[in-house]
Structure 1
Amino acid sequence: MRCDPLHQPFHRHDQARLIVFVRGDYRERAIEGQSRFRPGDFIIRPALFAHDGFGSPDAAYRTLPVSRAAWTRVHADHGWSVRTGRLPAELITDPEALMHTGDVVLSDCPTKAVEPAGDRTRLDRIARALVQPSATPTGELAEEEGLRPWQLTRRFLDRYGLTPTRFRQQARLQTALKLMAETSLSLAAIAADAGFADQSHFCRSLRTATGQSPSDTRRALLVA
């Protein structure tokens, strides 16, 4: 698949995916931070993980087929989290050999977790605050960092591709999905831990984002 050289907006895939980048340069943004990829890099994304992407005009990637058993092992080892890695040299130079190696990549290629964004800038600090379940208004967060609300919105859109309000909504949903995938907590407990007003608010947000009921979403997240 070729990448849109302009922008792939924030979106979610119903199923877990193993993506190998085979040509060009690609940058991906998520709630947890940003990553850059070059040919031979790969990324493992769990189901319903929100991200966007920017590719150079020549960028291309492949989605590798992966068995259910392999996804089950990944989930058991790493939970609902993104992993990245790099292919062996022989596979980088022979892209056609990739189409039948999804399970091999997952079992034989070392991976690492995507590092969360740091607190190097004012926007980084605000983003970390927005991920927390607290209900501190974005206007107050902007004021604490010496920004006006319109400045924060403009700079946030440029850096993260979302307004601060949308970023907070996505962050809460991201937290809730992780809890759904990795725990047996009730929907009410998940809603509270993720910062939603109540269970109804969480369920409405979930259905809007995924088009699924909470029970269907939980089944989709658990690959076992």
Structure 2
Amino acid sequence: MTFESHWCAGEPVSWRQESAAAAGEAVLLLPLRGAWRERDGDSFSTLVDRVSVSFRIPDRRTWVSHLGVDRFDVVAFPDSTPGFAQHPHPALISIPTAVAHGELIAARRRRLPPAEVSARARRLAVSAGRDLLLAHTPADEIPPSQRKVVEVARLALSRGTAVAPGVSRSHASRAFHRLTGLTMTQYQRRMRLVTAIRAIASVDRGFANIAAASGFADHAHLTRSVRDAIGLTPAQLRDRFRAG
């Protein structure tokens, strides 16, 4: 298994077909910045942001509409296609998957031996595969109008802006929960946590700085949230990432 980061820079673009990987590999994509719309062939679209995990296989047509500058990590499976390959759509990332991703980020940053990086990539793949298999309500069971409302709300939340004018927040909240299994407030908390976990893994900045950059009120707020979600303080989580 391989692990790389990629950028997709430029202005928003219309739909275009994207291959899974240059060598015809199955790949997991974990966005770090930005957001894009993704659809399988002629099916409905799903917003992919930094609280998402996407999976692509070479023989499935994937169409993507980038909304700006995107950065994402890619885990490639050069030798086999994992068992969750039949899941056709992106899913929300769970906290265990975010932690597994953090472990892999830290391994690359510290230049750990390839065997350790590969082992962490496999753990991430197992956890992300579980997220894909256990995704909440299939989007094809949701009316198109509600899917659009949720997409608009998710894009606003990912950009830290208010839900677009003309969209009823109560209507958006109901549709949001039906499609994702989370309320919009829970989604914001998930986004803050995932962002903080990745920052703890990838930078040596102080925790007060990470808290502010991730949307937490202060260091204490970050500590409470990480401990409630993972059972570790940010300092203990950083030590875990550095182990190995």
- TM-score tier (shorter): 0.3 to 0.5
Instruction: Provide the TM-score with structure 2 as the length reference.
Output: 0.44
Return the TM-score normalized by structure 1: 0.47
